[in-house]
Amino acid sequence: MITIIEYINISGSFVFAVSGALIAMKRKLDPFGVLIVSFITAVGGGTLRDILIDREIFWLYNTSILYAVFLGSIVAMIFKSNLNFFDKPMFFYDALGLGLFTITGVQIGLENNLDYLICIILGTVTGVFGGVLRDVVVNKIPVVFKKEIYATASILGGLLYIILMNCKIPNPYLQIIPIFFIILIRLGAVYFNVSLPSIYKDKFKHD
Amino acid sequence: MITIIEYINISGSFVFAVSGALIAMKRKLDPFGVLIVSFITAVGGGTLRDILIDREIFWLYNTSILYAVFLGSIVAMIFKSNLNFFDKPMFFYDALGLGLFTITGVQIGLENNLDYLICIILGTVTGVFGGVLRDVVVNKIPVVFKKEIYATASILGGLLYIILMNCKIPNPYLQIIPIFFIILIRLGAVYFNVSLPSIYKDKFKHD
Amino acid sequence: MITIIEYINISGSFVFAVSGALIAMKRKLDPFGVLIVSFITAVGGGTLRDILIDREIFWLYNTSILYAVFLGSIVAMIFKSNLNFFDKPMFFYDALGLGLFTITGVQIGLENNLDYLICIILGTVTGVFGGVLRDVVVNKIPVVFKKEIYATASILGGLLYIILMNCKIPNPYLQIIPIFFIILIRLGAVYFNVSLPSIYKDKFKHD
């Protein structure tokens, strides 16, 4: 179990670091700025989760996660000239990280015997808040609050995990199914330009 | 004592969730974006307080607070078409939440035998930082830093609580008086358009 | 040892409070807004460090730090009319705070037997994140992510401390040398307008 979570943390950190670096480079930050934004994006959500449940911060005694962040950030900086090449993979990386991290968050909540509702929130915090913090530090409204289904994918994926667990689906399907589910929802939403039904009517049209 | 704090946490969470949702809807966020901003507004201050004094996060084992947040957020979304109707109550909700949360923060500081100065800071953190975090994530300068007396009301209310406590005023007056005091200062400041005496002279006039 | 860290915390808090207040006043915040931004700037980095390693928050039982913050904020507000006079010292204050706080962060990491890499990160968090939080709350892109060498100075200073320690350089030189090193790098970078070699080529020229 621990090895699966560790593997997810490392690969998720790598992909979120790439996604963070790409957004930081769009703002033309300097190399260390890019590195710090990568770091915040990759470990921000999990760090907040660990602070909330008063658990040892997951990267504090596990430097392999930090090397994954460095690697992801540097890979993104080296291949920056092929940024067009990265443009689509960026969505995929981000969706993959969202899926991986959400499920780790839910799992850690369950291991701490927390309420299912809190577990889903911890999954969303883990999956989504790295990106929220990234957007806050580069001074834009978090993409999660915009139209494309993002937090929604994380919340529904966490819910699916809880349901599958209660159906006694075994490992690794218990993890793999909701991770793919989250990735599919996220990619499908962007591909088909789907968003949640708007709660704003004509009243707001001229804002 | 615990029941009073719990009641305050629940009702304060509801009113802050409404205030957070209303601001999120002004930015036309999607429903889950609105929900997350409600959540950050409602529990952000108390969460930061609990992290600072290494106390169990108040909503982690108390899902009734989360239901209050959901309810507040959904009520605000349903009655959004009556947003003009909400415009004035919003100030009142916000002021009420400020009063309720400030006093809980001070009280929790006292229960942990902290210095009076720290207790007042914890009260201000609890009352004000939900709103600060809300404004930071929707990418505007926190209203607390603007002209209308806001943090000032929280700080003075916390100070009044400490004074009343040393005068041995009994419960529930000990709580109710400073809560009303904070609401009155806040509403009075907005109503009479009062702000702190400016520290900026003509030097800054043409900025 | 404890007294050195305490002295550094107090003087660093004062200088960062001044720097925070000056930036807050450029945004014409009200006096309590200025005070809160001073507070966030001065204690934000160290607070985040203490939360990450689950250590008692350094100002929670040490109100002398808070008085230093109040003093720094009020001094800045009183001498605001001489803001031109402050313009250059601001860089110096900030650089001094960066040096002082970075070294405390590294030292606290070492005392907790953390990996050298983590110690350097904690030094950077302590030195840099007060300023990051300051810029985030006043709604601008953190200066640390911009061109002038800032986080770079902190990271290199932390690295130098680790090297000097392994060379068995005694106190107080072990602290003083990297602090001066950080200040020199920071001031030199601003004075000579040096920045990290750009990672952006003509591709980005027309952004």
Do A81 and A163 meet the contact criterion of CB atoms below 8 Å apart?
no
| Minimum-distance CB partner of B207 among C28, C29, C51 | C28
Tell which wins on pLDDT, A190 or B177. Answer: B177
* Count of beta carbons in the 10 Å neighbourhood of residue A105: 30
Asked if A144's CB is within 8 angstroms of B139's CB, the reply is: no
Backbone angles phi, psi at A195, to 5 degrees: -140, 170
The count of structural domains within chain A is 1
B63, A117 contact by CB (below 8 A): yes
Mutation target to probe the A interface, by most A beta carbons within 10 A, among C199, C202, C207 is C199
* C103 domain-assigned: yes
Q: Which of B20-24, B105-109, B143-147, C187-191 has the lowest mean pLDDT?
A: B143-147
- Residue B167 C-alpha from the chain's centroid: 26
In this model, does residue A1 exceed pLDDT 60? no
For the ranges B54-63, C147-156, C169-178, the lowest mean pLDDT is seen at C147-156
Which pLDDT value is given to residue B204? 43
C153 vs A193, residue with greater confidence: C153
Residue type at B122 in one-letter notation: L
What distance in Å separates residue C89's CA from the closest CA in chain A? 25
Look-up of token digits 């704003």: A200
pLDDT digits (tens, 9 = 90+) for B69-102: 999 999 988 887 565 555 666 677 778 889 989 9
Mean pLDDT of chain C: 85
Beta bridge partners of B148: B195
A-chain residues within 8 Å CB-CB of C198?
A: 30
Asked if C101 and C47 count as a contact pair (C-beta separation under 8 A), the reply is no
At B80, which amino acid appears? K
Which tens digit of pLDDT belongs to each residue from A155-179?
Answer: 999 999 999 999 999 988 998 999 9
Check whether A14 has a pLDDT greater than 80: yes
Look at residue B200 and tell me if it is in a domain: no
pLDDT for A206: 39
pLDDT of residue B87: 63
pLDDT score of C29 more than 70: yes
Q: Which of C188, C194, C187, C193 is nearest to C93 (CA)?
A: C187
pLDDT for residue C147? 57
Residue B207 in domain: no
DSSP class of residue B196 equals: P
Look at residues C108, C125, C114, C113 and name the one whose alpha carbon lies nearest to residue C55: C108
**DSSP letters spanning C86-148:** HHHHHHHHHHHHHHHHHHHHHHHHHHTT--HHHHHHHHHHHHHHHHHHHHHHTTS--GGGSSB
CA nearest to C116, candidates C177, C45, C56, C164: C164
Give the helix, strand, coil percentages of chain C, each rounded to 5. 75, 0, 20
What predicted TM-score, i.e. pTM, was given to this entire model?
Answer: 0.87
Mean pLDDT across chain B = 85
What pLDDT shows up at residue A46?
A: 94
Task: Tell me what pLDDT residue C207 has.
Answer: 37
- Answer whether residue B203 is part of any domain: no
- Test B145 with C57 for CB contact under 8 angstroms: no
Tell me the CA distances in angstroms from C115 to B206, C106, C107, C165, one per residue in order: 52, 10, 12, 14
pLDDT of residue A145: 75
- Residues of chain C contacting B152 with CB distance shorter than 8 Å: 30, 32
Per-residue model confidence (pLDDT) at position B82: 63
Secondary structure percentages of chain B, helix, strand, coil, to 5:
75, 0, 20
Whether the CB-CB separation of C45 and C80 falls below 8 Å is answered with no
- What pLDDT score does A86 carry? 59
**Considering only alpha carbons, which residue of chain C is nearest residue A53?**
C54
**Residue B66 included in any domain:** yes
Residue C189 has which token pair?
A: 């970078």
- Higher pLDDT: B29 or B165? It is B165
Coil vs helix vs strand at A27: coil
Can you tell me the mean pLDDT for A6-31? 84
* Bridge partners of residue A65, in order along the sequence: none
What DSSP state is assigned to residue C199? S
pLDDT tens for residues A140-156?
878 777 656 888 899 99
Task: Centre a 10 Å sphere on the Cβ of residue A57 and count the other Cβ atoms it contains.
Answer: 19
Of the candidates B53, B150, B203, which has its C-beta nearest C60's C-beta? B53
Structure tokens at A35: 């590195």
Q: Hey, what are B150's tokens?
A: 């806001």
- Can you give the three-state secondary structure of A156-188, one letter per residue? HHHHHHHHHHHCCCCCCHHHHHHHHHHHHHHHH
Asked whether B102 and B182 are in contact (CB, 8 A), the reply is: yes
Chains near C with 3+ CB pairs less than 8 A apart are: A, B
What range does the domain containing A176 cover?
2-77+86-195
CA distances to A56, B48, B108 from B56, rounded to whole Å, are 14, 11, 12
**A140: in domain:** yes
Per the domain annotation, does C96 fall within a domain?
Answer: yes
Residue among C12, C160, C192, C6 nearest C96 (CA): C12
Token readout for C1 is: 């040892």
Q: Do C138 and B141 touch (CB under 8 A)?
A: yes
pLDDT at A32: 83
Residue in C90, C136, C143 with CA at minimum distance from that of residue A30: C143
| Confidence at C45, pLDDT banded by 50, 70, 90 | very high
Say how far apart CA A101 and CA A19 lie, in whole Å: 14
Please count the other Cβ atoms lying within 10 Å of the Cβ belonging to residue C139: 15
Condensed to tens digits (0 to 9), the pLDDT of residues C114-170 reads 999 999 999 999 999 998 999 888 877 787 777 568 888 999 999 999 999 999 999
**CA C13: distance to chain centroid?**
9
Task: State residue A203's pLDDT score.
Answer: 43
Position A141 in a domain: yes
